[in-house]
Structure 1
Amino acid sequence: MKILTLLFIVYPLSINIQICNGEIDCSIYNNDLHAIDVNQFYIPASWGPNNYTYVNYDNYFRVTEFCVFNDLNPSLSVYCVQNLEQLRLVNTNLTILPEIKNFQRLQSLIIDTDNGVIDQHLPSEIGQLGSLLALKLSNITYLEDLPNEIEYWTKLQSLILIGIPNFNKIPDEGFGKLSQLTELRFIDLPNLSNIPSTINNLQSLQQLEINKTNINSLDLENLYSLKSILISLNPNLISLNMKNLSLVATISVTYNQQLKTITLENLPKLYTSEFYSLSSLEEISFENVLSLSTISIVSNPKLKSISFINIPTIKSLILSECELTTFPESILTLKSLQTLNMKSNKLSALPLTFSTDLPNLKILNLENNQFQGYIFQPPLIYVRELYLNDNSFTFIDGIGKYKSLSILQLNKNQISSIPLEITGISPTLTRLFIENNLLTDIQYSMNNQL
C-alpha cells in the first residue's frame, strides 16, 4: 500500500469535473488515483501527522483511503473513487450527493465540520453503502435526521453523532435493524428528544453513550451484549430504567439535572456504578445485581428512597452529599459490605442493629453529619477505621468496646475528655485524631499507654 500526501494548492478554475444528465461523469477517469490527481485538493501551509490531505493506494492505483483536510473547495471527483474503504472529510465543504452510492466498498465514513454545506437530510442513496462498518458525523450544521434507508446498513458496527445542533430524529424501524451495531454514541444533540424503543433490538450493542441530548426517558431492556452505559448531561431526562442487561459491567449516570427515578434490575455482571450530581433524583433501586462491587451515589440532595434487593457481593458503598436525615434501612441487607461512606449528610443516628447486620464492615465514614452526644452504642465491634470528623459528639465513653479499631478520627467535635478505657484498645488503635475539640489535658497514665 502506498501513501501519497497531496502537497499542492488548487484554485476554483482548475477543477476538472463533468456532470452528465445531473450525475457526475466518472468515465473520464482512468482509475481512482487519476480522479484525484487531475482535480487537485487544497493543502494548508502547516500540517501535522493527523491533519493533512492524503491517499492510500495500491499498485493498480486503487485508492482505498482518502482524507481531505481543511479544503474549502473540494472537487466532486471524490465520488468517482470507487474503491474507497475509508473516507475522512475534516473541515471540508463537500456536500453529500446521491453519488455516494458509488462507494460500494466503503467501510468507514468520518465527516467532521461541514461549514453548513450538508443539507438537512442525507440522500436516501446513503443507505446503499452495504459495506459500511463505521459512521461518525460531527459538527454538522444543518443535518436534522438520518434516512430510513439506514436499515440497509446490515454490517454497521459503530454509529457516532457529535455536535449536530439541529439533529432531531432517528428512524425508528431502520434504527432497530442495525443488528451488528456494537458502539452507539449520541453526544451534544440538543434537539434529539427521543431514542427509539427499537434500541432494544440492537442485540450486538456493547457500548452506549448518551450525552447532552434532550431526551426525557430511557428504557434499556434485554440488551444481552451491552457492557457499558454512560448517560450524562441530559437536562430533561426524568426516568431511567435498565433491566435484563446480562453483560453490563459499568454504569455511569451523571449531571442529569431533572432525573428523578433510576431502576436497575437483573444486571448479573454489573461490577461498578456511579450516580453523581443528579439534583432532582428521588428514587434509586437495585435488584438482582449479583456481581456489583462498588456503588457511588454522590451529590443527590433530593434523594428519598434507596432500595437494595439481592446484592450479595457489594464491597463498597459511597452515599455522600445527599442530605439524608435518616439511615436507609435497606443498607442493612448488604451483608458483604466492607466500606461505607456516608459523609456530608444530615444523619443523627444509626440503627441499633447496625453492627450485627453488617458484620463485614471494616471502614465507616460519617464525617460532616449531625451526630451528637455519646459515641455509638451498641459498639461497632467489627469496624477498623472510623471517621467522625465534623460532628457534635461530646463523649466517647464506651470506646473501649471497639475492639477492632485501628484508626479513629474525631476532629472538629465537642469532646472535652478522653476516657481512660481507650487504653484498652491500644494494641489495635494505631492512629487517633482528635484536634479542634474542647480538650484541656490528657491524663499522664494515658500518655504512657497510647
Structure 2
Amino acid sequence: MHLFSAFLVLLSLCDGFSPNCPGRCSCDSLQSVQCYRATEIPSGIPSTTKRLYISHSKIKHLQLSNFTQLLALEDLILLASGTESVENDTFKTLSALKTLEIWKNKLRQVPSGFPASLEVLKLNENSIYVLHGSDFEGLKKLKILELKNNLLSSLSPSMLSPLTGLQSLILDGNNIESVAGPLALPHLKHMSMENNKLHLIPGGFFTSLQSLQFLSFSGNLLSKIPINLPKSLLSLKMERNQLKAIRFRDMKHLENLSHLYLSGNSLSSMDGAHFLANLTTLELSQNQLQMLPLRLPSKLQKLDCSNNLIQRVTVQDFQDLRDLKHLFLDNNFVSSFEAGALQKCSQLSNLALEQNLLLSIPLRLPGTLARLDLKGNAIQDIAERELKDLKQLQVLNLRNNKLSALDLNALEGLPRLRHLYLDGNPWNCTCSLLRAREVLRAKGTDVRGGQCAAPADRQGENWMSSKKIMRQCEPHLRLTEKNKEAKKKPKPEDHFSINMDDEYYDYETD
C-alpha cells in the first residue's frame, strides 16, 4: 500500500497527475488546469486553480454556475470550443480574474458583466458584429482589448468610453468602413485596424490619443495618410492601401517617428521624407517608383525600394545616408549603377540587387558589405576590381546570371566569404575553373551550384563535385602549381590566414 501511494505521488510530480483532477484534464502543482475535448466546463476543478485552459471542446453555452467555485481564477482561456453564448454576469464574481480569452468560438456579442479586476480581454475570431459602451462598464483596469477577425462594421467613441486605462486596441480583420472620434483613450499606445474597409479617417480622430506610439492602418482603402497624427507616434504602418502621393510637410510634427511602412500602394514618386528627421526605417516595396526617393532622412538605417520600376542608381541618391545598413533594390529595372554610388554609406552591410538588368557588379561598393545579392541579372564575368574592397563579404549570391568563368584573383580577395551561390549560370568547365574550386575549398566556403554548360563532354557535371572532371584536370592542376612555385617564393607577409572562428552570419537565402 505504501508503495502504491508513493507511485501516485511520483506521478503527480512528474506528469501533472492529481487524484482530484477532472477527466479529460491535466492539473499541475502550479494551480494550472488544462482540459481538452470536453462537452461542458468540467466539474471538480480544484478551487485553488489560478489558470484554466480549455481547448477544442464542444461547449455551446457558458453559465454562472460553471465558475462559482473558482474564485481564485486569474486566467481563463477558452479556445476553439464552439461557444455561442454566455449567461449574463457569468464572469462577474471572479474578482481575481485578470485575463479572459475566448478565441475561435461563435460569440455574436460581447459577454456582459466583467469583473473590475480584468486587465486583458481577447475575443478574437468570433462573430461579434457590434460594440456597446455598456459592454465594458467598470473596466478601468483593462489594458489590452483584442477583437481581431470579427464582423464589426464601425467604431465610435461611445463604444469604448469606459476604457480609460486602455493601452492596446487590436481590431484587425473586421469589416469596419467608418470610424468617428475623438476616442477618449488617453493612455492608448498601440492601435491596429489592419485589413478592414476604411476609406477615410476623420481629422479629429486622434485628438485624445496623445500617447499613441504604434499605429497600423495596413490593408484598407485609404488614399491619404491621416492628418493630425499624434506627435508621440514612433511607428506608422500604411501598407496595402491606395496611396498615390505623400505630403510629408503635413507630417513634419512627427519628430519621434522612426518606422514608416508604405509598401503595396500606388506611389510613383516621393520627395520630402527628410521632414521626418528621425526616421530609421522606410519601406516602399511594391509601388510604382521610377526613381529613388529624393531627400531622404540622414538617420535612415533601412530602405526597402524593392518591386518598383527604378532604372538608375546615382551618387546623389545616397550622399547623406551614412547610417544606412540595409538597402533593398531587388525586382526593379536597374541597368545603370554609378560607380561609388554607395561609398558614403559607411555602415552598409546588406545590399539586395536581385532580378535587375545589371551587366556587371557595381564598382566601388562599400567595404562594410556582409551580404551581396545579385541573383537574376545579366552579369557575364567577375572582375577583381569589382570585389577587391569587400573584405567583410560573407554571402555572395550570383544565381541565374550569365557567368561562364570565375576570376581567381577576385575570389582570393574575399577572405571572409562563407556562402557562394552559383547555380543557373552557363559554366565553361575548363581545367582552369578547378583552380577556383581549390581556392574556395581552402576558405571553407559553402558553394551551391556549378553545373557545366560546356564543353560538350562535361555538360551536366558539377565542377565543384565532379570526380570525372577532377581526374581529367589533375595533371593540369599539378603543372600549374609547380609553375607557380617556380615563379615566386612566398614571403611571410604573403600568407593570409583565415580565422575559421570569425563571427558567422546566418543569412536566409532563397
Please, what TM-score do these two structures have when normalized by structure 2? 0.56
Paired residues, number: 387
Q: Give yes or no for contact 2:133–2:161 (8 Å, CA) kept in 1.
A: no
**How far apart are residue 369 of structure 1 and its match?**
0.8
Q: Deviations over 1:11-55 (max 9, x none)?
A: xxxxxxxxxxxxxxxxxxxxxxxxxxxxxxxxx99459x985675
- SS of the residue corresponding to residue 337 of structure 2 reads coil
Q: How does 1:2-401 map to 2 (within 5 A)?
A: 46-47=37-38, 57=47, 70-72=58-60, 75=63, 77=65, 91-97=82-88, 103=93, 105=95, 107-112=98-103, 115=106, 118=108, 126=113, 130-141=116-127, 143-147=129-133, 150=136, 152-165=138-151, 167-173=152-158, 175=160, 178-189=163-174, 191-199=175-183, 201-217=184-200, 225-226=211-212, 228-229=214-215, 232=218, 234-240=219-225, 243=229, 246=232, 248=234, 256=240, 258=242, 260=244, 266=254, 268=256, 270=258, 278=264, 280=266, 282=268, 285=273, 287-288=275-276, 290=278, 292=280, 297-298=284-285, 300-303=286-289, 306=293, 309-312=296-299, 314=301, 316-327=302-313, 330-351=317-338, 354-372=341-359, 376=362, 379-380=364-365, 382=367, 384=369, 386-393=372-379, 399-400=384-385
**How far apart are residue 122 of structure 1 and its match?**
7.0
Please name the residue that 2:471 is paired with. Answer: none
**How far apart are residue 346 of structure 1 and its match?**
0.7
**How far apart are residue 137 of structure 1 and its match?**
2.2
| Inter-CA distance 444–159: structure 2 relative to 1 (3 Å threshold) | closer
* One-letter amino acid matched to 2:321: L
Please name the residue that 2:442 is paired with. Answer: none
| Inter-CA distance 147–308: structure 2 relative to 1 (3 Å threshold) | farther
Cα distance in 1 between the residues matched to 2:20 and 2:179: 42
Cα distance in 1 between the residues matched to 2:132 and 2:214: 25
* One-letter amino acid matched to 1:341: F
Unaligned runs of 5+ in 1: 9-43
Cα RMSD of the aligned pairs, angstroms, is 5.3
| Inter-CA distance 371–195: structure 2 relative to 1 (3 Å threshold) | same
| Inter-CA distance 434–142: structure 2 relative to 1 (3 Å threshold) | closer
**How far apart are residue 405 of structure 1 and its match?**
2.7
* One-letter amino acid matched to 2:59: D
| Inter-CA distance 337–5: structure 2 relative to 1 (3 Å threshold) | same
**How far apart are residue 161 of structure 1 and its match?**
0.8
- SS of the residue corresponding to residue 354 of structure 1 reads coil
Cα distance in 2 between the residues matched to 1:370 and 1:283: 21
Q: Deviations over 1:53-111 (max 9, x none)?
A: 675646xxxx98888863335556569889686666653343454x5696594654444
- SS of the residue corresponding to residue 320 of structure 1 reads coil
Q: Give yes or no for contact 1:81–1:103 (8 Å, CA) kept in 2.
A: no
| Inter-CA distance 443–5: structure 2 relative to 1 (3 Å threshold) | closer
Q: Give yes or no for contact 1:386–1:409 (8 Å, CA) kept in 2.
A: yes
Q: Give yes or no for contact 1:64–1:84 (8 Å, CA) kept in 2.
A: yes
Please name the residue that 1:40 is paired with. Answer: none
Cα distance in 1 between the residues matched to 2:215 and 2:186: 15
* One-letter amino acid matched to 1:136: K
- SS of the residue corresponding to residue 400 of structure 1 reads helix
- SS of the residue corresponding to residue 147 of structure 2 reads strand
**How far apart are residue 168 of structure 1 and its match?**
1.9
| Inter-CA distance 258–56: structure 2 relative to 1 (3 Å threshold) | farther
Q: Give yes or no for contact 1:188–1:212 (8 Å, CA) kept in 2.
A: yes
Cα distance in 1 between the residues matched to 2:117 and 2:416: 65
Cα distance in 2 between the residues matched to 1:100 and 1:445: 77
Q: Give yes or no for contact 1:324–1:347 (8 Å, CA) kept in 2.
A: yes
- Structure with the larger RCO, 1 or 2 (CA within 8 Å, 6+ apart): 1
Q: Give yes or no for contact 1:240–1:261 (8 Å, CA) kept in 2.
A: no
- SS of the residue corresponding to residue 135 of structure 1 reads strand
- SS of the residue corresponding to residue 208 of structure 1 reads strand
**How far apart are residue 129 of structure 1 and its match?**
5.4
Q: Deviations over 1:122-168 (max 9, x none)?
A: 76xx5x85444332224443532233674753222111113322x22
| Inter-CA distance 313–134: structure 2 relative to 1 (3 Å threshold) | same
**How far apart are residue 185 of structure 1 and its match?**
1.5
| Inter-CA distance 295–70: structure 2 relative to 1 (3 Å threshold) | same
More strand as a share of residues? 1
Q: Give yes or no for contact 1:365–1:387 (8 Å, CA) kept in 2.
A: yes
* One-letter amino acid matched to 1:391: N
Q: Deviations over 1:319-357 (max 9, x none)?
A: 322332344865443112234232221112134661444
**How far apart are residue 7 of structure 1 and its match?**
6.3
**How far apart are residue 260 of structure 1 and its match?**
4.9
* One-letter amino acid matched to 1:335: R
**How far apart are residue 281 of structure 1 and its match?**
5.1
Cα distance in 1 between the residues matched to 2:357 and 2:309: 11
* One-letter amino acid matched to 1:188: G
Cα distance in 1 between the residues matched to 2:150 and 2:52: 23
Q: Give yes or no for contact 2:144–2:169 (8 Å, CA) kept in 1.
A: yes
Q: Give yes or no for contact 2:127–2:150 (8 Å, CA) kept in 1.
A: yes
Cα distance in 1 between the residues matched to 2:190 and 2:368: 39
* Aligned-residue identity in percent: 17
| Inter-CA distance 400–425: structure 2 relative to 1 (3 Å threshold) | farther
Cα distance in 1 between the residues matched to 2:265 and 2:344: 31
| Inter-CA distance 54–343: structure 2 relative to 1 (3 Å threshold) | farther
Please name the residue that 1:28 is paired with. Answer: none
Q: Give yes or no for contact 1:364–1:383 (8 Å, CA) kept in 2.
A: no
Cα distance in 1 between the residues matched to 2:310 and 2:64: 62
